[in-house]
A and B are shown apart, each in its own frame.
Chain A
Amino acid sequence: MTIWQRLSGLLTLRLSAVLTLIALALMVWSMLEPTPLPVMLAMTVGQGIGILAFGIYIFIVVRELLRELRRARPRDPS
């Protein structure tokens, strides 16, 4: 079993949700205090974390979908 298969979907999605909250906090901070540090952090670290979180979500959902398709496929009688 690979590390990808071992990753629990629910746990990883929780991590993704927490990362998204951090990214959103950085983005909102840059809008409430538009000075160089918050704006640059939001446009680099904030968006990077957001993309990572969305990537995790896509990965988990696609993996679940593939599992469902595999389960639904009729078994070979031989």
Chain B
Amino acid sequence: MVSWIISNPLIAAAIACAAAAAVLLVWYLVRRPALNHATKLVLLAGIGVLPLATAMTGNVAGYEATKARQFCGACHVMTPYKTDSENPRSTALAARHADYGMFGTITTKLGGLRHVYEYTFHYRNMSLAEAREKIHILRPFQNATCMHCHSTEGPSWNAIKEHASLLDRVRGGEVSCASEGCHGPAHPFSKPAPAPHQDHAP
């Protein structure tokens, strides 16, 4: 634990600020000094400056923590997805399921808030087997997510005859990249794929 804190300077700084603030506040609560200028300055540090520094560094550290697989895997229903994402031989599309773009990370985190809500109030006590059956992706997998990188315009992409023959329907979202027979679902171990040529509403 100690080595982990020392190896992460942000967390070390945040905990140091929190400890310093706690010392000042405990001193104030125990000694009960008169409210003179010196006490006000001590309290400014203990209630204002140091906790603000803790909150700011803690926010950055917390945000970084949300990017780790262990964070998502902390909820038991995420265990198979975490295991799959850690498997370098996995053929699942899961590694590509985050939205891209300038604000991709932010929008993914905002979506994650809903996951936390659903887990806390609906799936917390559900068994893993039951969760695999009952938890479904909120919206169909969007081709646009794939097309951020695979633009559908490159010669190597169009050299695949299935791509070339379905070009307009893939671009229009009529045929999902994650269809059975194409690339399959993002998490093939847990869910049946949507039927090919399924109409996907945005």
Interface check A40, CB cutoff 8 A: yes
CA distance A31 to B17 in the complex (A): 13
Picked from A13, A14, A20, the residue with its CB within 8 Å of the CB of B51 is: A20
Picked from A13, A23, A46, A47, the residue with its CB within 8 Å of the CB of B43 is: A13
Q: Mark B165-197, 1 if CB is under 8 A from A, else 0.
A: 000000000000000000000000000000000
* CB <8 Å contact, B51 and A54: yes
Contacts of A36 in B (CB 8 A): 71, 74-75, 116, 119
* CB <8 Å contact, A40 and B29: no
Q: Mark B131-148, 1 if CB is under 8 A from A, else 0.
A: 000000000000000000
**B contact residues, range:** 35 or more
Picked from A9, A18, A24, A43, the residue with its CB within 8 Å of the CB of B62 is: A43
CA distance A52 to B52 in the complex (A): 12
* CB <8 Å contact, A20 and B58: no
* CB <8 Å contact, B40 and A61: yes
Contacts of B40 in A (CB 8 A): 61, 64
Interface check B44, CB cutoff 8 A: yes
Contacts of B14 in A (CB 8 A): 27-28, 31
Q: Mark B27-42, 1 if CB is under 8 A from A, else 0.
A: 0110010010000100
**A57 with B43: in contact, given A23-B51, A34-B62, A36-B71 (CB under 8 Å)?**
yes
* CB <8 Å contact, B48 and A24: no
Q: Mark B17-29, 1 if CB is under 8 A from A, else 0.
A: 0100110011011
CA distance A16 to B59 in the complex (A): 22
Q: A10-B35, A13-B28, A53-B47 are in contact. List 9 more A-B contacts (CB 8 A).
A: A16-B47, A24-B18, A27-B51, A34-B65, A34-B70, A36-B74, A36-B116, A43-B59, A47-B55
B residues bordering A, Cβ < 8 Å?
A: 1, 5, 11, 14-15, 18, 21-22, 25-26, 28-29, 32, 35, 40, 43-44, 46-48, 51-52, 54-55, 58-59, 61-62, 65-66, 68, 70-71, 74-75, 113, 116, 119-120
